[in-house]
Amino acid sequence: MLESIHSPADVRALDRSQLAALAEEIRAFLVESIAKTGGHLSPNLGVVELTLALHRVFDSPRDAIVWDTGHQAYVHKLLTGRAEGFNNLRQPGGMSGYPSRSESEHDLVENSHASTSLSYALGLAEARLRKGVKGHVVAVIGDGALTGGMAYEALNQIAHLQPPNLVVVLNDNGRSYAPTVGGLAGHLSQLQVDPRYERLKEEISQRLKDLPLVGRQAEQAAFRVKESLKQLLQPSTVFDSLGLKYAGPVDGHDLAELEEILGRAKRLKAPTVIHVITEKGRGYGPAVDDEIDKLHGVGAFDPLTGRARQTELTYTDVFGDALLSAGSRHPEVVAITAAMGSSTGLLGFARAFPDRFFDVGICEQHAVTFAAGLAMAGMRPVVCIYSTFLQRAFDQVIMDVALHRLPVVFVLDRSGVTGADGSSSHGVFDLGYLRMIPNLRVAAPADATELCALLETALSSDGPVVIRYPKGTVPATPDLPVEPLPVGRWEEVRRGEDVAILAVGRMVEVAREAADRLEQDGISCGVVNARWVKPMDPRLVSDWARRYPLLITAEDNVGSGGFGGAVLEVLAPAGLAGKVRLSALPDMFLPHGKSAAILAEHGLDPAGLVKQVKAALATVTKAKR
């Protein structure tokens, strides 16, 4: 049936039996397609009926649908005529794994950061009211994303402004990546609703109008009766406390019930929260049975078993082993994650030391300041977050950790180019936004052994340290523990005469290979592993910048404010900045694609570095003439 679905209008024309068949076909299509390309599997299996109901009740794009985080919008893409795009999902030049404004008029928000949909939706709703634009705005937010502080801030203003054209759909599957944690999760799990409540409230309100009471006395009487009725029939919710209409919980897989309650919310002319209960991974046994993350985000896999086609050791795995080793030797070490324990390699630590593992929910700001409090009291917190998500806690890193010189260790997974997840997931800004912060030390390991060594260094530091590493595979886990490395000390891994490449992190191996190729062409190229981006090795000025005629910096970060800029800042006062050429990523949001291909496109592969070195040497030679 998918072949006949070109727009939401086609979905609205189907009868109940056709809709049931379409839902089954969508689930089979998603499993088969994502098994080939990888992507977000279980979040989309869980929202099939919900998405069908949304597109039958609301008229997108006349009615705006905003998907929080965006990883659960695959069904939305199918219903808006993009089934063929799944052949190249998350592939270079292919369809994005998130909503994309360039793909469809039905897509509004294309970043993958959670807890933002309510703010977007409120802004859209208020603008439409002021411009006289008809239609509703629907925000679809998960229970995991609802733990984020921005969601509470938006709810507060929604309650204040009371936009009549706004509907909030709370997709509650009890999980983000892992089971949702916190007081709100427990609150949601206990909520009940009695359909008699709204009907009786309206009847009593009408009868109160007929009583011989006037003015303030009548208002107070009405308020007391309504509140008593609410406490009798429905336990108070956080949404009620804010003055928002609340309906639910609703079976998120009962299409008829979903359509009925969405239709009621559409007619209410008041901001309404609809609490929908869905099952993550529904219809696919391996996802439902997976207790870790329900096959949340997957690479290519065997659709019969759900098992990955390739299982390789990664930097994340090695970090997890290194932290477990450190935790066994240092009882003051604690681990903190923002709803991504499995994705950041913390499951082993969590099993071994459950009382020293904290999943704070999708709350990066809180995670950082919580770590600050732990550090103030003598603990050694290790905050494990993807590079792109630490951006959300920039102020807390500065004011709550660095200002106080607290020994918090930030471990940034997925730094640099991350590949298929695209522009909002690449960790290409961290060197720039962290390097400027006083008291903060920033390190980038060149390999797995160095990652473990830098963790030991950071855990013995007297102030905050950041360790950033890429998404990638490694040959083996080193013998643990590894000896710590001195702070601010670089390593000249290859000595040359004509030029030196100062490389950061994953670029060290790229620089080595480029130097081998240059040697075959008669160019003597040195390679320096600049493992500390801050502080920088003083030998940069006293040795390498004076000994080498030319220096090339290489980093998988945007050039603006990155490692290359730091080198220039150090060398400029000594009059040596003219020897430096920068090789970095451009000042732009990078598309999704293979990491190696993206780096190569911007000259950050061995061939690209060879070309840049030769061009720079030619310029230097010409200038001497």
Which tens digits make up the pLDDT trace of 225-245?
554 554 444 556 778 778 888
| Mean pLDDT within 506-531 | 97
Distance CA 41, CA 298 (A): 7
The residue-averaged pLDDT of 358-386 equals 96
pLDDT digits (tens, 9 = 90+) for 443-498: 999 999 999 999 999 999 999 999 999 999 999 999 999 999 999 999 999 999 99
Between these two residues, 123 and 40, which has the higher pLDDT value?
123
Is 364 tagged catalytic?
A: yes
Q: Catalytic site residue 16? A: no
Q: How far apart are the first and last CA of the chain?
A: 72
Mean pLDDT of the chain: 89
- For residues 246 and 107, what is the distance between their CA atoms, to the nearest angstrom? 26
Tokens representing residue 135 in the block:
């239609």
The least confident of 200-214, 319-333, 352-366, 507-521 is 200-214
Q: In the structure, what pLDDT confidence band is assigned to residue 510 with cuts at 50, 70 and 90?
A: very high
Lowest mean pLDDT among 103-112, 136-145, 232-241, 254-263: 232-241
Q: How confident is the model at residue 275 (pLDDT cuts 50, 70, 90)?
A: very high
| Active-site residue identified among 364, 450, 456, 555 | 364
Contacts of 528 (CB under 8 A, 6+ apart): 490, 491, 492, 493, 500, 501, 502, 503, 544
pLDDT of residue 199: 55
**Residue 209 confidence (pLDDT) above 90:** no
Residue of 82, 90, 175, 280 with catalytic role: 280
Q: What is the residue whose two structure tokens read 């303030």?
A: 216
> 24-38, 197-211, 401-415, 582-596: lowest mean pLDDT where?
197-211
**What pLDDT does residue 191 have?**
43
The residues, any chain, with a CB within 8 Å of residue 56's CB and separated by 6 or more, are 8, 11, 12, 259
Residue type (1 letter), 102: S
Separation between Cα atoms, residue 174 and residue 189, nearest integer Å: 8
Strand order in the sheet with 525-529: 491-494, 525-529, 499-503, 551-558, 580-585
CA-CA distance, 457 to 35, in Å (whole number)?
40
More confident residue, 240 or 211: 240
Of 95-104, 294-303, 335-344, 375-384, the poorest mean pLDDT is in 294-303
Cα–Cα distance for residue pair 584/432, rounded to 1 Å: 12
Give residue 194's pLDDT. 44
pLDDT band at 190 (very low <50, low <70, confident <90, very high): very low
Note the pLDDT of residue 357: 97
pLDDT-derived band at 337 (thresholds 50, 70, 90) equals very high
pLDDT grade for 121, boundaries at 50, 70 and 90: very high
Q: What is the model's pLDDT at position 193? A: 40
Q: Tell me if 362 sits within 8 A of 338, measured CB to CB.
A: yes
392 is catalytic: yes
Q: What confidence category does residue 192 fall into, taking pLDDT thresholds of 50, 70 and 90?
A: very low
Q: Looking at 56, 294, 356, 392, which residue is catalytic?
A: 392
Is residue 207 pLDDT above 90, yes or no? no
Whether pLDDT at 371 is above 80: yes
Q: DSSP secondary structure string, 128-144?
A: HHHHT--S-EEEEEETT
Kindly state the DSSP code that residue 567 receives in the 8-state scheme.
Answer: H
Beta strand residue intervals within 144-257, DSSP E? 166-172, 245-251
Average pLDDT over residues 570-590: 95
Least confidently predicted of 122-131, 412-421, 602-611:
412-421
Q: What are phi and psi of 558, to 5 degrees?
A: -65, 145
Between CA 607 and CA 518 the distance in angstroms is 10
pLDDT given at position 184: 53
**pLDDT tens digits along 300-322:** 888 888 888 777 899 999 999 99
- Return d(Cα 492, Cα 551) in angstroms, integer: 13
Inter-axis angle of helices 149-161 and 117-131, to 10 degrees?
30
